[in-house]
Amino acid sequence: MNSLLQTAVNAEEVRRHSNASIDMRLEVIVIPVSDVDRAKEFYTRLGWRLDADVAGPNGFRLIQFTPPGSGSSVQFGVDLTPAAPGSAQGLLLAVSDLEGARRQLVARGIEASEVFHCATGTGCRFPGGTRVSGPHPEQLSYGSFASFSDPDGNGWVLQEVTTRLPGRIAGDTTYASVHGLSEAMIRAATAHGKHEARIGKADPNWPDWYAEYMVREQAGEELPQ
């Protein structure tokens, strides 16, 4: 291949790769802890899946946990990060049922805050923000929270997400858990009941209606009527 042709081929490769959309999936967040075994006990008690506990030379250690239904994991250990233990704050966990998730934490012996919402916007996830006791008065998706911390003080926030913002989910409609799918079906059934009341008769195509409702809800699009 002559040099001019090779240059043209290389240029085409650069152009093709620069225009391609390459997935970048958030895989792991490293959190700083002071006592690895104490942190391991805590995250085990949360009910998260233990993926790895690896030791290496000079005291190196890596532990990885994954929350239920999550595509991302957390790691902690020895010689993983220079950050100060407890300095990770606002680590957000999306849940479809905030009250249920909080009850599970408490049942596992985890000290969790009461459910709260923000006086304005969502800027009260950190201590010092203007928190208002109780869930969002309009039950808005993204509007209700609860919080807890690990033994080092790394702060976690539960945020109730029932309907995604537009464009937030692309491609396949997925649910993180059986409970999440069940809750989505209940919302679809409730909406379908109102749909049948509007049309004044039973809707024989209810499976298609349910499917459209659930896909649009997750994509944050306008819901069927």
60 and 76 belong to one structural domain: yes
Residue 129: predicted pLDDT = 67
Instruction: Please say if the pLDDT value at position 22 is more than 50.
Output: yes
155 and 113 belong to one structural domain: yes
Phi, psi for 159 (deg, rounded to 5): -125, 125
79 and 107 belong to one structural domain: no
Residue 83: predicted pLDDT = 97
| Distance between CA atoms of residues 106 and 98, nearest Å | 12
Which amino acid is it at 107? A
Which amino acid is it at 6? Q
Domain with 211 in it: 178-219
Residue 103: predicted pLDDT = 95
Considering the chain, what is the average pLDDT of its residues? 84
pLDDT in tens, 62-83: 999 999 888 899 999 999 999 9
Burial of 116 (0-12, 13-18, 19+ CB in 10 A): buried
93 and 66 belong to one structural domain: no
* Residue percentage of the chain with pLDDT more than 70: 80
65 and 121 belong to one structural domain: no
> Pick from 35, 68, 85: which residue ends a domain?
85
Domain-embedded: residue 3: no
| Distance between CA atoms of residues 157 and 90, nearest Å | 6
Number of domains in the chain: 3
In CATH, what number is assigned to the domain containing residue 106?
A: 3.10.180.10
Cα radius of gyration (the chain): 23
80 and 123 belong to one structural domain: no
Residue at token pair 């957390």: 74
Local confidence band at 170 (pLDDT 50, 70, 90 cut-offs): very low
94 and 154 belong to one structural domain: yes
Domain-embedded: residue 6: no
